[in-house]
Amino acid sequence: MSNNSLQEIYGRKGRIVTDQDAREIGRVEELAYELKNRDVMSREVHTAAPQMSISDVLMMLRKHRISGAPVMDGEQLAGIISMEDIVRAMSENALSASVSAYMTRPVISAHDYDSIVKSLETFTKSGLGRLPVVDESGKLVGMVTKGDITRGILLALQKDYHDEELRRYRASHLFEDITSDRTSLILRYRIKPRDFVNGGQASSHIKRALLRLGAPPQLARQCGIAVYEAEINLIIHSTNGGILRVQIEPHRILMQTTDDGPGIPDVAQALTPGWSTASSEARAMGFGAGMGLVNIKRCVDKMELESTPGKGTKLLMEINLSAEEKFKGGAEHPEEPPV
Amino acid sequence: MNLQTIIEQLELTPLTQPRDFRGIQPRGGYASDMLSCVMAGAQPGNIWITLQAHINVVAVASLREVSAVIITENAHPEPDVIARANEQGIILLSTPEPSYPIAGKLWEMGIW
């Protein structure tokens, strides 16, 4: 879409765009594609007839406080009459002339199912300020102006923010709102073997959960990487899949995977960077770099790998939160719990 | 250097839904087909160059918060991969060229 049209609407010209702004602009752009003309248009359309006089139309526009109207010849869209056309008529002393002599033709219209970005482009290219909106059969169903588009985007943004804020607000107060000697939140995910299609889903959900709980983005990323690698290990190696469990406490995050086989014969070797026993199927998809456990170690404060061949593997990962990272609320000095 | 310019100069084909690529400024890049290497080495905002077109590319791109993924050598992701990418706001771009010249061109454009 054209940058000009958005800048025109939002007046960001000359302002320094911060990261926060950039994210918001990104969402506005997305909405420009998501929202359709039918979502933002005015449905109550005041129309003029071709034989009406310019002065009658002027009165109608004033009465409804609008700056233009489509001209309907029966069911047919015959033209558009705007303030500009009326000014032209006035300068020619033709207030009693008929609308058909001064209206703008041919009519550029928009489809109700088109994205608003298309209308914004039409506004920029044509210099028009309003577009009649027609449905599939060509019937007039509304009018769309830049004002309607701005209002539509703002309403959608407000709804987005409201929904996400509400979720964040509810979640971020969890530890504050619940009083106990030791509050923890446990998330559990069942990971299926060889389920590459859903690989990374649990990690994405965990990362989002942490952000909603108010974790700093860097911490959420760190946990995301660690649990992703652990999740993928279960998918690649475990016989029957396993359980990914994340325990979130105000002062630390414990992550753990458990499975019931096949187990790792040589744990020290498994921890060597570049060592991998991934299948050729997994390698073809870009897994098996032998960096998974190495990556995990880099992201967490403590990692423990216990494995018994034939029995199964347990991987423990722990991140202790710094003073700034700690979730608000909860006991200051929780007793050391059994894991 | 914004993503729109990169798409035009490298003649990339967006596979995911259109948006205003001018608003996206990639910072640096990373080239690898090994997902764990990307998890370790890619930085948020990087352009990631790979010939993997598998669904896990989307998970890695999302967890690593890369600005876009360039899938090289015409490796074509399945429709469900593109759908997941759209869901998670990940930009997938396609090129018939191999990863090496693509990385070279990006470097010359000042993406490093």
Tens-place pLDDT, residues A255-273: 999 999 899 999 999 999 9
Classify residue A310 by its DSSP letter. T
Rounded to a whole number of angstroms, the distance between the first and last alpha carbons of chain A is 54
Interface size between A and B, measured as CB pairs under 8 A: 92
Distances (CA, A) of A165 to A26, A48, A246, B74, B112: 18, 45, 24, 41, 35
> What are phi and psi for residue A120, nearest 5 degrees?
-60, -40
Classify residue A198 by its DSSP letter. G
> Cβ separation of A26 and B19 shorter than 8 Å?
yes
CA distance B26 to B6: 9
pLDDT for residue A335: 53
Contact residues on chain A for B25, CB-CB shorter than 8 A: 22
Contact residues on chain B for A285, CB-CB shorter than 8 A: 35, 52, 54, 56
Say if A165 falls within a structural domain.
no
Task: Name the token pair of A236.
Answer: 């690649």
The total number of structural domains in chain A stands at 2
Q: Please check whether residues A102 and A198 belong to one and the same domain.
A: no
- Which chain B residue has the Cα nearest residue A17? B23
Q: What is the mean pLDDT of chain A?
A: 86
| Residue A16: pLDDT over 90 | no
Does residue B18 belong to the interface with chain A, where contact is any CB pair within 8 Å?
yes
Say if A326 falls within a structural domain.
no
Does residue A148 belong to the interface with chain B, where contact is any CB pair within 8 Å?
no
Say if A169 falls within a structural domain.
no
Does residue B1 belong to the interface with chain A, where contact is any CB pair within 8 Å?
no
How many CB atoms are located within 10 Å of the residue A19 CB? 8
State which residues form the domain around A29. Answer: 3-45+55-152
Say if A215 falls within a structural domain.
yes
Q: Please check whether residues A92 and A188 belong to one and the same domain.
A: no
CA distance A318 to A174: 21
| Residue A61: pLDDT over 50 | yes
How many CB atoms are located within 10 Å of the residue A306 CB? 14
Classify residue A48 by its DSSP letter. B
Summarize pLDDT for A73-83 with one digit per residue, the tens: 888 888 999 99
Summarize pLDDT for A137-187 with one digit per residue, the tens: 888 999 999 999 999 988 888 887 777 777 777 777 888 888 888 889 999
- pLDDT band with cut points at 50, 70 and 90 for residue A331: low
Q: Could you tell me if residue B90 is left (phi over 0), alpha (psi between -120 and 50 degrees) or otherwise beta?
A: beta
- Which chain B residue has the Cα nearest residue A24? B23
CATH number at residue A304: 3.30.565.10
CATH number at residue A40: 3.10.580.10
Whole-structure pTM value = 0.64
> Cβ separation of A1 and B63 shorter than 8 Å?
no
Q: Please check whether residues A23 and A98 belong to one and the same domain.
A: yes
Summarize pLDDT for B11-45 with one digit per residue, the tens: 999 999 888 898 899 999 999 999 999 999 999 99
When scoring A30, A114, A291 by the number of chain B Cβ atoms within 10 A, the one with the most, hence best to mutate, is A291
Say if A162 falls within a structural domain.
no
Contact residues on chain A for B48, CB-CB shorter than 8 A: none
Q: Please check whether residues A205 and A261 belong to one and the same domain.
A: yes
Q: Please check whether residues A186 and A314 belong to one and the same domain.
A: yes
Q: Please check whether residues A268 and A301 belong to one and the same domain.
A: yes
Residue type, B85: A
Please say which residue of A117, A152, A187 terminates a domain. A152
Task: Name the token pair of B100.
Answer: 């090496």
Q: Please check whether residues A301 and A218 belong to one and the same domain.
A: yes
User: What SS3 state is found at B34?
Assistant: coil
Q: Are B33 and B52 in contact (CB under 8 A)?
A: yes
Say if A160 falls within a structural domain.
no
CA distance B17 to A335: 51
User: What SS3 state is found at B97?
Assistant: coil
Does residue B80 belong to the interface with chain A, where contact is any CB pair within 8 Å?
yes
Higher pLDDT, A301 or A327: A301
Say if A335 falls within a structural domain.
no
Distances (CA, A) of B75 to A298, B70, B97, B104: 32, 10, 10, 19
* Cis, peptide link before residue B98, omega less than 30° from 0: no
pLDDT for residue A168: 77
pLDDT for residue A330: 57
Say if A336 falls within a structural domain.
no
Q: Please check whether residues A194 and A300 belong to one and the same domain.
A: yes
Give all domains of chain B, ordered by start, each with its CATH number. 3-108 (3.40.1390.20)
* Cis, peptide link before residue A262, omega less than 30° from 0: yes
Task: Name the token pair of B89.
Answer: 């706001």
Contact residues on chain B for A29, CB-CB shorter than 8 A: 19-20, 23
As a whole number, mean pLDDT of residues B91-110 equals 96
Does residue A92 belong to the interface with chain B, where contact is any CB pair within 8 Å?
no
> Cβ separation of A203 and B63 shorter than 8 Å?
yes
Say what percent of chain A tops pLDDT 90.
Answer: 49
Q: Please check whether residues A230 and A310 belong to one and the same domain.
A: yes
For every residue of A78-138, DSSP letters joined together read: EEEEEHHHHHHHHHTT-TTSBHHHHSB-SPP-EETTSBHHHHHHHHHHH--SEEEEE-TTS
Q: Exposed, middle or buried by CB within 10 Å (0-12, 13-18, 19+), for B75? A: middle
Q: Please check whether residues A213 and A251 belong to one and the same domain.
A: yes
* B103: closest CA of chain A, how far (Å): 19
CA distance A126 to A251: 59
Task: Name the token pair of A82.
Answer: 């705007």
| Residue A218: pLDDT over 90 | no
- Helix (H) or strand (E) run with residue A156 in it: helix A146-172
CA distance A159 to A156: 5
Residue found under tokens 């991934």: A278
